Amino acid sequence: MRFRKLKKQTKENKPTKVKILYARYPDRIKAFITDMFMIYAPIMYILTYLVLGGKDEFQASTLAPLIATTMYGIIYALFLSKTGQTPGKKAYEIKVVDYKTQKNISFVKAFIRFVAFLFSATILVGLLLPIFRKDNKMLHDLICSTIEIVEKK
């Protein structure tokens, strides 16, 4: 067999790489802020005024912020495991998927990602990683092997 034909066959047999369009960092921040207003604010309102009876009781409670954050984490994980998007991510056409398979992540992985997000937000270094990375991964994305991509329509 001639070298040209052999070279042509090896090129044809190679799988084509799928180009991934990573979500932009400003869009991720805007989606997060949108989620805080659409999901977390109603949880805080219901917990503060309907369950506890007012802001003074909420401020006096050490358990109330933990309950509100846990409820937000569960709702956030449900959205990610079901559709790969929260309302804020949907508004900015961002989808959270597994890094290797580009499929939706499980509820457990989504909840662990939320807890890892809380950790990376606490130390701030995790939120600044996308500035130094080409794939815009934050610390919680690295921990859970996820990635935020632009949703294909």
pTM for the predicted model, two decimal places? 0.82
Contact 86, 35 (CB under 8 A): yes
Is 62 domain-assigned?
yes
Q: How far apart are CA 139 and CA 148, in angstroms?
A: 12
Is 48 domain-assigned?
yes
Q: Considering the chain, what percentage of its residues have pLDDT values greater than 70? A: 88
Q: What pLDDT band is residue 144 in, cutting at 50, 70 and 90? A: very high
Is 31 domain-assigned?
yes
Of the two residues 125 and 91, the one the predictor is more confident about is 91
Is 3 domain-assigned?
no
Of the two residues 13 and 90, the one the predictor is more confident about is 90
Q: What is the pLDDT of residue 26?
A: 92
Number of domains composing the chain: 1
Is 6 domain-assigned?
no
Q: Tell me the mean pLDDT in the region 16-45.
A: 89
Per-residue pLDDT for 14 more than 60? no
Q: How far apart are CA 79 and CA 3, in angstroms?
A: 53
Buried/exposed 12-27: b ≥16 CB within 10 Å, e otherwise? eeeeeeeeeebbebeb
* Structural domain for 51, as ranges: 20-150
Taking only the tens place, the pLDDT of each residue in 47-105 is: 999 999 899 999 999 999 999 999 999 999 999 999 999 999 999 999 999 999 889 99
Is 73 domain-assigned?
yes
